[in-house]
Structure 1
Protein backbone atom coordinates (compact mmCIF):
# COMPACT_ATOMS: atom_id res chain seq x y z
CA UNK A 1 0.00 0.00 0.00
CA UNK A 2 1.17 3.50 -0.83
CA UNK A 3 -0.31 6.56 0.89
CA UNK A 4 -0.14 9.99 -0.73
CA UNK A 5 -1.24 13.41 0.42
CA UNK A 6 -2.98 15.63 -2.13
CA UNK A 7 -3.03 19.22 -0.89
CA UNK A 8 -5.81 21.67 -1.67
CA UNK A 9 -5.14 24.53 -4.04
CA UNK A 10 -6.20 28.10 -3.23
CA UNK A 11 -6.31 30.81 -5.89
CA UNK A 12 -5.45 34.06 -4.11
CA UNK A 13 -5.96 36.19 -7.21
CA UNK A 14 -7.32 35.45 -10.67
CA UNK A 15 -7.20 37.74 -13.69
CA UNK A 16 -8.79 36.60 -16.92
CA UNK A 17 -6.50 37.76 -19.71
CA UNK A 18 -8.14 36.43 -22.89
CA UNK A 19 -9.32 33.41 -24.84
CA UNK A 20 -7.17 31.24 -27.10
CA UNK A 21 -8.24 30.42 -30.65
CA UNK A 22 -9.24 26.94 -29.45
CA UNK A 23 -11.61 28.43 -26.87
CA UNK A 24 -9.50 27.84 -23.74
CA UNK A 25 -9.39 30.75 -21.33
CA UNK A 26 -6.10 32.45 -20.44
CA UNK A 27 -5.38 33.42 -16.87
CA UNK A 28 -2.85 35.21 -14.69
CA UNK A 29 -3.19 33.91 -11.14
CA UNK A 30 -1.41 33.47 -7.83
CA UNK A 31 -1.99 30.03 -6.32
CA UNK A 32 -0.87 28.42 -3.08
CA UNK A 33 -1.03 24.93 -1.57
CA UNK A 34 -2.85 24.48 1.73
CA UNK A 35 -2.43 22.13 4.67
CA UNK A 36 -5.96 20.87 3.94
CA UNK A 37 -5.54 17.68 1.94
CA UNK A 38 -7.07 14.49 0.62
CA UNK A 39 -5.36 11.14 1.25
CA UNK A 40 -4.92 8.64 -1.56
CA UNK A 41 -4.21 5.00 -0.71
CA UNK A 42 -2.82 3.14 -3.71
CA UNK A 43 -2.82 -0.65 -4.02
CA UNK A 44 -0.93 -1.68 -7.18
CA UNK A 45 -2.09 -5.29 -6.76
CA UNK A 46 -5.67 -4.57 -7.86
CA UNK A 47 -7.70 -1.98 -9.75
CA UNK A 48 -10.68 0.30 -9.29
CA UNK A 49 -11.63 3.44 -7.34
CA UNK A 50 -13.24 3.96 -3.95
CA UNK A 51 -13.98 7.10 -1.94
CA UNK A 52 -14.64 7.86 1.70
CA UNK A 53 -14.39 10.88 3.99
CA UNK A 54 -16.61 13.91 4.66
CA UNK A 55 -16.83 15.01 1.01
CA UNK A 56 -17.03 11.63 -0.70
CA UNK A 57 -20.70 11.91 -1.68
CA UNK A 58 -21.05 12.42 -5.40
CA UNK A 59 -17.45 11.58 -6.27
CA UNK A 60 -17.55 9.59 -9.55
CA UNK A 61 -15.87 6.20 -9.35
CA UNK A 62 -15.75 5.46 -13.07
CA UNK A 63 -13.40 6.46 -15.89
CA UNK A 64 -14.57 10.09 -15.70
CA UNK A 65 -12.74 10.56 -12.39
CA UNK A 66 -9.51 12.53 -12.86
CA UNK A 67 -7.64 9.90 -10.84
CA UNK A 68 -8.68 7.21 -13.30
CA UNK A 69 -7.65 9.45 -16.19
CA UNK A 70 -4.30 10.16 -14.53
CA UNK A 71 -3.67 6.43 -14.08
CA UNK A 72 -4.34 5.96 -17.78
CA UNK A 73 -1.96 8.80 -18.65
CA UNK A 74 0.92 7.14 -16.77
CA UNK A 75 -0.12 3.67 -18.00
CA UNK A 76 -0.48 2.28 -14.48
CA UNK A 77 -3.14 -0.02 -13.06
CA UNK A 78 -3.95 0.27 -9.36
CA UNK A 79 -6.78 0.51 -6.88
CA UNK A 80 -7.04 3.99 -5.38
CA UNK A 81 -9.07 4.88 -2.31
CA UNK A 82 -9.63 8.63 -2.12
CA UNK A 83 -10.30 9.97 1.37
CA UNK A 84 -12.02 13.25 0.52
CA UNK A 85 -11.43 16.18 2.85
CA UNK A 86 -11.46 18.76 0.06
CA UNK A 87 -14.97 19.56 -1.21
CA UNK A 88 -15.65 19.00 -4.89
CA UNK A 89 -17.16 22.01 -6.65
CA UNK A 90 -15.60 24.24 -4.03
CA UNK A 91 -12.88 25.86 -6.13
CA UNK A 92 -10.10 24.22 -4.09
CA UNK A 93 -8.80 21.87 -6.79
CA UNK A 94 -9.91 18.67 -5.08
CA UNK A 95 -10.07 16.50 -8.19
CA UNK A 96 -7.04 18.18 -9.74
CA UNK A 97 -4.77 17.66 -6.75
CA UNK A 98 -5.78 13.99 -6.52
CA UNK A 99 -4.87 13.54 -10.19
CA UNK A 100 -1.60 15.45 -9.71
CA UNK A 101 -0.59 13.14 -6.86
CA UNK A 102 -1.18 10.10 -9.07
CA UNK A 103 0.80 11.63 -11.94
CA UNK A 104 3.74 12.33 -9.64
CA UNK A 105 3.54 8.79 -8.20
CA UNK A 106 3.43 7.39 -11.72
CA UNK A 107 6.67 9.12 -12.68
CA UNK A 108 5.26 12.14 -14.50
CA UNK A 109 7.75 15.00 -14.49
CA UNK A 110 7.23 18.70 -13.86
CA UNK A 111 9.16 19.95 -16.85
CA UNK A 112 7.48 22.29 -19.32
CA UNK A 113 6.24 19.64 -21.73
CA UNK A 114 4.88 17.46 -18.90
CA UNK A 115 2.93 20.38 -17.45
CA UNK A 116 1.45 21.09 -20.88
CA UNK A 117 0.37 17.45 -21.09
CA UNK A 118 -1.09 17.59 -17.57
CA UNK A 119 -3.08 20.72 -18.44
CA UNK A 120 -5.02 18.63 -20.99
CA UNK A 121 -6.53 16.75 -18.04
CA UNK A 122 -7.35 19.91 -16.11
CA UNK A 123 -6.13 23.50 -15.88
CA UNK A 124 -5.30 23.28 -12.15
CA UNK A 125 -3.33 20.04 -12.40
CA UNK A 126 0.02 21.60 -13.43
CA UNK A 127 0.06 23.86 -10.37
CA UNK A 128 -0.96 20.98 -8.10
CA UNK A 129 1.96 18.96 -9.47
CA UNK A 130 4.41 21.75 -8.60
CA UNK A 131 2.71 23.00 -5.42
CA UNK A 132 3.84 25.59 -2.93
CA UNK A 133 3.24 29.12 -4.20
CA UNK A 134 3.35 30.13 -7.83
CA UNK A 135 2.25 32.52 -10.51
CA UNK A 136 0.15 30.55 -12.99
CA UNK A 137 -0.49 31.70 -16.55
CA UNK A 138 -1.57 30.45 -19.96
CA UNK A 139 -4.43 27.99 -19.47
CA UNK A 140 -2.71 26.78 -16.30
CA UNK A 141 0.33 25.10 -17.84
CA UNK A 142 2.78 27.97 -17.14
CA UNK A 143 3.80 27.64 -13.49
CA UNK A 144 6.41 30.04 -12.09
CA UNK A 145 7.33 29.13 -8.49
CA UNK A 146 7.40 31.99 -6.00
CA UNK A 147 8.94 32.23 -2.51
CA UNK A 148 6.78 30.76 0.24
CA UNK A 149 4.73 33.17 2.35
CA UNK A 150 3.29 31.68 5.52
CA UNK A 151 -0.39 32.58 5.70
CA UNK A 152 -3.26 31.50 7.90
CA UNK A 153 -6.49 31.22 5.92
CA UNK A 154 -10.09 30.81 7.02
CA UNK A 155 -12.18 28.89 4.49
CA UNK A 156 -15.97 29.12 4.52
CA UNK A 157 -17.32 26.20 2.52
CA UNK A 158 -21.08 26.55 1.96
CA UNK A 159 -23.32 23.61 1.01
CA UNK A 160 -23.12 24.63 -2.65
CA UNK A 161 -21.09 23.69 -5.70
CA UNK A 162 -20.12 25.54 -8.86
CA UNK A 163 -18.91 23.68 -11.91
CA UNK A 164 -15.88 25.43 -13.38
CA UNK A 165 -17.00 25.08 -17.04
CA UNK A 166 -20.32 26.72 -16.15
CA UNK A 167 -18.53 29.66 -14.52
CA UNK A 168 -16.35 30.17 -17.61
CA UNK A 169 -19.41 30.02 -19.88
CA UNK A 170 -21.13 32.62 -17.71
CA UNK A 171 -18.02 34.81 -17.88
CA UNK A 172 -18.20 34.61 -21.68
CA UNK A 173 -21.93 35.40 -21.66
CA UNK A 174 -21.33 38.44 -19.44
CA UNK A 175 -18.87 39.83 -21.97
CA UNK A 176 -15.67 38.95 -20.13
CA UNK A 177 -15.92 41.25 -17.10
CA UNK A 178 -12.97 42.13 -14.88
CA UNK A 179 -13.65 42.20 -11.17
CA UNK A 180 -13.39 45.03 -8.65
CA UNK A 181 -11.63 42.56 -6.35
CA UNK A 182 -8.93 39.97 -6.87
CA UNK A 183 -11.09 37.42 -8.72
CA UNK A 184 -12.43 38.14 -12.20
CA UNK A 185 -14.62 35.02 -12.09
CA UNK A 186 -16.65 36.12 -9.06
CA UNK A 187 -19.41 37.86 -11.05
CA UNK A 188 -19.79 34.82 -13.30
CA UNK A 189 -19.93 32.41 -10.35
CA UNK A 190 -22.70 34.51 -8.79
CA UNK A 191 -24.72 34.12 -12.00
CA UNK A 192 -24.24 30.35 -11.96
CA UNK A 193 -25.07 30.08 -8.24
CA UNK A 194 -26.92 33.22 -7.01
CA UNK A 195 -27.02 31.93 -3.42
CA UNK A 196 -23.30 32.69 -3.19
CA UNK A 197 -24.21 36.35 -2.75
CA UNK A 198 -26.07 35.61 0.50
CA UNK A 199 -22.99 33.84 1.82
CA UNK A 200 -20.71 36.70 0.77
CA UNK A 201 -22.95 39.23 2.54
CA UNK A 202 -23.22 37.16 5.71
CA UNK A 203 -19.46 36.62 5.87
CA UNK A 204 -18.86 40.34 5.30
CA UNK A 205 -21.26 41.28 8.10
CA UNK A 206 -19.59 38.95 10.57
CA UNK A 207 -15.95 39.48 9.60
CA UNK A 208 -16.14 43.20 8.90
CA UNK A 209 -14.66 42.84 5.42
CA UNK A 210 -15.62 41.02 2.25
CA UNK A 211 -14.26 37.55 1.54
CA UNK A 212 -12.65 36.41 -1.72
CA UNK A 213 -14.12 33.67 -3.84
CA UNK A 214 -11.78 30.69 -4.32
CA UNK A 215 -11.43 30.28 -8.08
CA UNK A 216 -14.83 29.60 -9.62
CA UNK A 217 -16.33 28.94 -6.15
CA UNK A 218 -18.17 27.94 -4.11
CA UNK A 219 -15.67 28.41 -1.23
CA UNK A 220 -15.11 31.88 0.22
CA UNK A 221 -11.94 32.73 2.15
CA UNK A 222 -10.48 35.43 4.39
CA UNK A 223 -6.84 35.74 5.29
CA UNK A 224 -6.23 35.26 9.01
CA UNK A 225 -8.00 33.22 11.66
CA UNK A 226 -11.67 34.27 11.77
CA UNK A 227 -13.47 31.13 12.92
CA UNK A 228 -14.50 32.99 16.09
CA UNK A 229 -16.59 35.44 14.05
CA UNK A 230 -17.75 32.95 11.43
CA UNK A 231 -18.31 29.78 13.43
CA UNK A 232 -22.08 30.22 13.64
CA UNK A 233 -22.32 29.80 9.86
CA UNK A 234 -22.01 26.09 10.59
CA UNK A 235 -25.67 26.33 11.66
CA UNK A 236 -26.46 27.37 8.06
CA UNK A 237 -24.74 24.29 6.68
CA UNK A 238 -21.25 25.67 6.07
CA UNK A 239 -17.96 24.13 7.04
CA UNK A 240 -15.50 26.65 8.49
CA UNK A 241 -11.87 25.51 8.23
CA UNK A 242 -8.76 27.30 9.43
CA UNK A 243 -5.72 26.17 7.48
CA UNK A 244 -2.26 27.39 6.49
CA UNK A 245 -0.25 27.64 3.34
CA UNK A 246 2.51 25.06 2.86
CA UNK A 247 5.87 25.51 1.16
CA UNK A 248 5.61 22.21 -0.68
CA UNK A 249 2.76 19.92 -1.66
CA UNK A 250 5.03 16.82 -1.49
Structure 2
Protein backbone atom coordinates (compact mmCIF):
# COMPACT_ATOMS: atom_id res chain seq x y z
CA UNK A 1 0.00 0.00 0.00
CA UNK A 2 1.27 3.43 -0.92
CA UNK A 3 2.06 5.93 1.82
CA UNK A 4 2.62 9.67 1.77
CA UNK A 5 4.64 11.90 4.07
CA UNK A 6 5.36 15.58 4.56
CA UNK A 7 8.91 16.72 5.32
CA UNK A 8 8.68 20.23 6.81
CA UNK A 9 11.45 22.81 6.78
CA UNK A 10 13.42 22.89 10.03
CA UNK A 11 14.20 26.38 11.31
CA UNK A 12 16.86 27.11 13.93
CA UNK A 13 15.50 30.14 15.77
CA UNK A 14 18.76 30.05 17.73
CA UNK A 15 21.99 28.12 17.28
CA UNK A 16 24.61 28.46 20.01
CA UNK A 17 27.84 26.51 19.49
CA UNK A 18 28.86 25.56 23.03
CA UNK A 19 31.86 23.26 22.58
CA UNK A 20 33.57 20.58 20.58
CA UNK A 21 34.09 16.95 21.52
CA UNK A 22 37.37 15.10 21.16
CA UNK A 23 35.92 13.24 18.16
CA UNK A 24 35.32 16.54 16.34
CA UNK A 25 31.54 16.75 16.80
CA UNK A 26 30.34 20.22 17.77
CA UNK A 27 28.06 20.71 20.77
CA UNK A 28 25.01 22.87 20.16
CA UNK A 29 22.16 24.53 22.01
CA UNK A 30 19.41 25.35 19.54
CA UNK A 31 15.71 26.23 19.60
CA UNK A 32 14.15 24.47 16.62
CA UNK A 33 10.71 24.90 15.07
CA UNK A 34 9.11 23.64 11.87
CA UNK A 35 7.40 25.37 8.95
CA UNK A 36 4.22 24.52 7.07
CA UNK A 37 6.26 24.44 3.85
CA UNK A 38 8.31 21.39 2.94
CA UNK A 39 9.01 18.45 0.67
CA UNK A 40 6.49 15.71 -0.06
CA UNK A 41 7.28 12.03 -0.39
CA UNK A 42 5.29 9.07 -1.71
CA UNK A 43 6.33 5.51 -0.91
CA UNK A 44 5.38 2.50 -3.03
CA UNK A 45 6.49 -0.86 -1.54
CA UNK A 46 8.52 -3.15 -3.79
CA UNK A 47 11.41 -5.58 -3.88
CA UNK A 48 14.13 -3.06 -4.71
CA UNK A 49 14.97 0.42 -3.46
CA UNK A 50 14.77 3.32 -5.91
CA UNK A 51 14.06 7.05 -5.81
CA UNK A 52 12.89 9.69 -8.27
CA UNK A 53 13.21 13.41 -7.52
CA UNK A 54 10.99 16.09 -9.05
CA UNK A 55 10.08 19.66 -8.13
CA UNK A 56 11.61 23.11 -8.26
CA UNK A 57 14.79 22.07 -6.43
CA UNK A 58 15.29 18.62 -7.94
CA UNK A 59 18.51 19.58 -9.74
CA UNK A 60 21.56 18.21 -7.98
CA UNK A 61 19.65 15.95 -5.57
CA UNK A 62 21.11 12.42 -5.77
CA UNK A 63 18.84 9.59 -6.86
CA UNK A 64 20.97 6.78 -5.47
CA UNK A 65 22.31 5.64 -2.11
CA UNK A 66 23.77 9.11 -1.43
CA UNK A 67 20.25 10.43 -0.87
CA UNK A 68 19.34 10.66 2.83
CA UNK A 69 15.81 9.35 2.26
CA UNK A 70 17.35 6.31 0.54
CA UNK A 71 19.76 5.84 3.47
CA UNK A 72 16.88 6.11 5.94
CA UNK A 73 14.80 3.53 4.07
CA UNK A 74 17.78 1.20 3.94
CA UNK A 75 18.47 1.65 7.66
CA UNK A 76 14.83 0.87 8.45
CA UNK A 77 14.81 -2.20 6.23
CA UNK A 78 12.14 -0.78 3.89
CA UNK A 79 12.25 -1.45 0.15
CA UNK A 80 10.29 0.09 -2.67
CA UNK A 81 10.13 3.25 -4.76
CA UNK A 82 10.29 6.75 -3.28
CA UNK A 83 8.89 9.73 -5.19
CA UNK A 84 10.37 12.91 -3.70
CA UNK A 85 8.90 16.30 -4.62
CA UNK A 86 11.72 18.68 -3.70
CA UNK A 87 10.28 22.03 -2.61
CA UNK A 88 13.05 23.05 -0.17
CA UNK A 89 16.41 24.29 -1.47
CA UNK A 90 19.09 21.76 -0.58
CA UNK A 91 22.10 22.92 1.37
CA UNK A 92 19.96 25.74 2.73
CA UNK A 93 20.24 25.26 6.49
CA UNK A 94 16.60 24.22 6.85
CA UNK A 95 17.10 20.48 7.04
CA UNK A 96 15.75 19.53 3.61
CA UNK A 97 17.57 16.22 3.29
CA UNK A 98 17.36 15.52 7.02
CA UNK A 99 13.61 16.12 7.02
CA UNK A 100 13.22 13.79 4.02
CA UNK A 101 15.11 11.08 5.92
CA UNK A 102 13.04 11.72 9.05
CA UNK A 103 9.79 11.46 7.08
CA UNK A 104 11.02 8.13 5.71
CA UNK A 105 11.79 6.85 9.21
CA UNK A 106 8.34 7.94 10.46
CA UNK A 107 6.71 6.12 7.54
CA UNK A 108 8.68 2.96 8.28
CA UNK A 109 7.73 3.14 11.99
CA UNK A 110 4.03 3.50 11.10
CA UNK A 111 4.36 0.35 9.02
CA UNK A 112 5.58 -1.54 12.07
CA UNK A 113 9.33 -1.41 11.55
CA UNK A 114 11.47 -0.80 14.61
CA UNK A 115 13.55 2.34 14.19
CA UNK A 116 15.71 3.23 17.19
CA UNK A 117 16.77 6.82 17.95
CA UNK A 118 20.37 5.72 17.40
CA UNK A 119 19.53 4.97 13.76
CA UNK A 120 18.30 8.53 13.22
CA UNK A 121 21.37 10.07 14.86
CA UNK A 122 23.70 7.84 12.86
CA UNK A 123 22.27 9.36 9.67
CA UNK A 124 22.78 12.99 10.74
CA UNK A 125 22.69 15.35 13.71
CA UNK A 126 19.48 17.07 12.55
CA UNK A 127 17.53 13.89 11.88
CA UNK A 128 16.34 13.10 15.46
CA UNK A 129 14.74 16.55 15.82
CA UNK A 130 13.26 16.24 12.33
CA UNK A 131 11.73 12.88 13.30
CA UNK A 132 10.01 14.68 16.19
CA UNK A 133 8.90 17.48 13.80
CA UNK A 134 7.78 19.74 16.64
CA UNK A 135 9.27 22.64 18.59
CA UNK A 136 12.31 21.37 20.48
CA UNK A 137 15.34 22.53 22.37
CA UNK A 138 18.17 20.55 20.77
CA UNK A 139 21.42 20.14 22.68
CA UNK A 140 24.56 18.03 22.54
CA UNK A 141 25.24 16.66 19.08
CA UNK A 142 21.52 16.58 18.29
CA UNK A 143 20.76 13.72 20.66
CA UNK A 144 19.41 15.72 23.63
CA UNK A 145 15.87 16.89 22.81
CA UNK A 146 13.44 18.69 25.09
CA UNK A 147 9.97 19.76 23.88
CA UNK A 148 9.47 23.53 23.80
CA UNK A 149 6.20 25.43 24.07
CA UNK A 150 5.99 27.95 21.23
CA UNK A 151 3.20 30.11 19.76
CA UNK A 152 2.53 30.14 16.04
CA UNK A 153 5.13 32.41 14.46
CA UNK A 154 4.29 34.17 11.17
CA UNK A 155 7.52 34.17 9.17
CA UNK A 156 9.18 34.70 5.84
CA UNK A 157 11.91 32.33 4.63
CA UNK A 158 14.36 33.66 2.05
CA UNK A 159 17.20 31.82 0.33
CA UNK A 160 19.44 33.63 -2.19
CA UNK A 161 20.05 30.30 -3.98
CA UNK A 162 23.67 30.17 -2.82
CA UNK A 163 25.02 27.01 -1.18
CA UNK A 164 27.52 27.34 1.66
CA UNK A 165 29.23 24.04 2.63
CA UNK A 166 28.70 23.38 6.34
CA UNK A 167 32.30 22.21 6.78
CA UNK A 168 33.66 25.54 5.57
CA UNK A 169 31.34 27.42 7.91
CA UNK A 170 32.49 25.49 10.99
CA UNK A 171 36.12 25.84 9.87
CA UNK A 172 35.68 29.63 9.79
CA UNK A 173 34.09 29.73 13.25
CA UNK A 174 36.26 31.89 15.54
CA UNK A 175 35.03 30.48 18.88
CA UNK A 176 33.66 27.00 19.60
CA UNK A 177 33.10 27.53 23.33
CA UNK A 178 30.24 29.98 23.59
CA UNK A 179 27.49 30.53 26.13
CA UNK A 180 24.36 28.37 25.80
CA UNK A 181 20.83 29.73 25.90
CA UNK A 182 19.37 30.49 29.35
CA UNK A 183 18.56 27.40 31.42
CA UNK A 184 14.83 28.01 31.01
CA UNK A 185 13.09 29.11 27.83
CA UNK A 186 10.06 31.28 28.68
CA UNK A 187 6.59 30.31 27.51
CA UNK A 188 5.45 32.89 24.99
CA UNK A 189 1.79 33.56 24.28
CA UNK A 190 2.35 35.58 21.10
CA UNK A 191 5.05 36.22 18.52
CA UNK A 192 6.07 39.68 19.81
CA UNK A 193 7.54 38.64 23.20
CA UNK A 194 9.10 35.62 21.51
CA UNK A 195 10.87 37.87 18.98
CA UNK A 196 11.99 40.19 21.82
CA UNK A 197 13.60 37.24 23.61
CA UNK A 198 15.14 35.83 20.43
CA UNK A 199 16.92 39.11 19.69
CA UNK A 200 19.09 38.46 22.74
CA UNK A 201 20.04 34.98 21.50
CA UNK A 202 22.37 34.07 18.61
CA UNK A 203 23.19 31.95 15.64
CA UNK A 204 26.94 31.53 16.13
CA UNK A 205 27.28 30.30 12.54
CA UNK A 206 25.89 33.51 11.06
CA UNK A 207 29.14 35.57 11.14
CA UNK A 208 31.30 32.92 9.40
CA UNK A 209 28.56 32.23 6.84
CA UNK A 210 28.07 35.88 5.93
CA UNK A 211 31.85 36.17 5.64
CA UNK A 212 31.91 33.32 3.14
CA UNK A 213 28.72 34.33 1.34
CA UNK A 214 27.96 38.08 1.30
CA UNK A 215 24.62 37.26 -0.36
CA UNK A 216 23.40 35.93 3.01
CA UNK A 217 24.24 39.24 4.68
CA UNK A 218 22.27 40.98 1.95
CA UNK A 219 19.24 38.77 2.61
CA UNK A 220 19.39 39.62 6.32
CA UNK A 221 19.56 43.34 5.50
CA UNK A 222 16.57 43.03 3.16
CA UNK A 223 14.53 41.13 5.76
CA UNK A 224 15.39 43.67 8.47
CA UNK A 225 14.18 46.40 6.14
CA UNK A 226 10.75 44.91 5.47
CA UNK A 227 7.73 46.59 7.01
CA UNK A 228 6.72 45.16 10.41
CA UNK A 229 9.71 42.77 10.68
CA UNK A 230 10.23 41.90 14.35
CA UNK A 231 13.64 40.25 13.96
CA UNK A 232 15.71 38.46 11.31
CA UNK A 233 18.30 35.69 11.56
CA UNK A 234 19.95 32.94 9.56
CA UNK A 235 18.83 29.33 10.05
CA UNK A 236 21.38 26.56 10.62
CA UNK A 237 24.58 27.09 8.68
CA UNK A 238 22.71 28.98 5.94
CA UNK A 239 21.99 30.11 3.42
CA UNK A 240 18.26 30.38 4.28
CA UNK A 241 17.29 33.28 6.55
CA UNK A 242 14.01 34.08 8.26
CA UNK A 243 12.16 37.05 9.70
CA UNK A 244 9.24 37.02 12.14
CA UNK A 245 6.16 39.23 11.76
CA UNK A 246 3.10 40.14 13.85
CA UNK A 247 0.68 38.55 11.34
CA UNK A 248 0.69 36.31 8.28
CA UNK A 249 -0.57 39.29 6.28
CA UNK A 250 2.65 41.11 7.18
CA UNK A 251 4.71 38.04 6.19
CA UNK A 252 2.94 37.76 2.82
CA UNK A 253 3.42 41.47 2.17
CA UNK A 254 7.14 41.12 2.89
CA UNK A 255 7.31 38.07 0.59
CA UNK A 256 5.77 40.13 -2.22
CA UNK A 257 8.16 43.01 -1.55
CA UNK A 258 11.33 40.89 -1.54
CA UNK A 259 10.13 38.59 -4.31
CA UNK A 260 9.50 41.56 -6.62
CA UNK A 261 12.93 43.02 -5.90
CA UNK A 262 14.76 39.68 -6.13
CA UNK A 263 12.83 37.31 -8.42
CA UNK A 264 15.67 34.77 -8.38
CA UNK A 265 15.55 34.34 -4.61
CA UNK A 266 13.45 31.62 -2.97
CA UNK A 267 10.82 33.33 -0.77
CA UNK A 268 8.08 31.62 1.24
CA UNK A 269 5.73 33.13 3.79
CA UNK A 270 5.00 30.43 6.35
CA UNK A 271 3.77 29.66 9.84
CA UNK A 272 6.37 28.27 12.23
CA UNK A 273 5.36 25.99 15.12
SS at match of 2:123: coil
With 223-232 and 82-91 compared, the bigger mean Cα shift is at 223-232
SS at match of 1:107: helix
Conserved? CA contact 1:201–1:210, under 8 Å: no
Structure 1 match to 2:211: 191
Alpha carbons of 1:153 and 1:51: their partners in 2 closer, same or farther (altered >3 Å)? same
Q: Where do residues 219-238 of structure 1 align in structure 2 (5 Å cutoff)?
A: 219-224=240-245, 225-234=250-259, 235-236=261-262, 237-238=264-265
Q: TM-score, normalized by length of structure 1? A: 0.88
C-alpha separation in 2, matches of 1:149 and 1:209 = 15
Conserved? CA contact 2:53–2:86, under 8 Å: yes
Structure 2 match to 1:156: 158
Aligned-residue CA RMSD in angstroms?
2.3
Conserved? CA contact 1:115–1:142, under 8 Å: no
Structure 1 match to 2:37: 36
Q: TM-score, normalized by length of structure 2? A: 0.81
**Shift, 1:156, TM fit:** 1.4
Structure 2 match to 1:9: 10
SS at match of 2:237: coil
**Shift, 1:175, TM fit:** 3.8
With 39-48 and 134-143 compared, the bigger mean Cα shift is at 39-48
Structure 2 match to 1:95: 97
Structure 1 match to 2:185: none
Conserved? CA contact 1:132–1:148, under 8 Å: no
Alpha carbons of 1:100 and 1:229: their partners in 2 closer, same or farther (altered >3 Å)? closer
Give deviations 1:62-120, integer Å, cap 9, x for gaps. Answer: 21111111112112211111101111111110000100111122229xxxx93333122
**Shift, 1:5, TM fit:** 0.9
With 65-74 and 176-185 compared, the bigger mean Cα shift is at 176-185
Superposition misfits of 4+ residues, deviation over 4 angstroms: 177-181, 207-210
Conserved? CA contact 1:227–1:240, under 8 Å: no
Conserved? CA contact 2:138–2:144, under 8 Å: yes
Conserved? CA contact 1:71–1:102, under 8 Å: yes
C-alpha separation in 2, matches of 1:200 and 1:53 = 26
**Shift, 1:200, TM fit:** 2.1
Conserved? CA contact 1:203–1:230, under 8 Å: no
SS at match of 1:215: coil
Structure 2 match to 1:241: 268
Gaps of at least 5 residues in structure 2 are 180-199
Structure 2 match to 1:176: 176
Structure 1 match to 2:224: 204
Conserved? CA contact 2:18–2:177, under 8 Å: no
Count of matched residue positions in the alignment of Structure 1 and Structure 2: 241
Structure 2 match to 1:125: 127
C-alpha separation in 2, matches of 1:169 and 1:138 = 19
Conserved? CA contact 2:7–2:38, under 8 Å: yes
Give deviations 1:141-191, integer Å, cap 9, x for gaps. Answer: 1111122421111111212122222222222xx343859852111012123
**Shift, 1:231, TM fit:** 2.6
Alpha carbons of 1:233 and 1:62: their partners in 2 closer, same or farther (altered >3 Å)? same
Structure 1 match to 2:138: 136
Alpha carbons of 1:138 and 1:116: their partners in 2 closer, same or farther (altered >3 Å)? farther
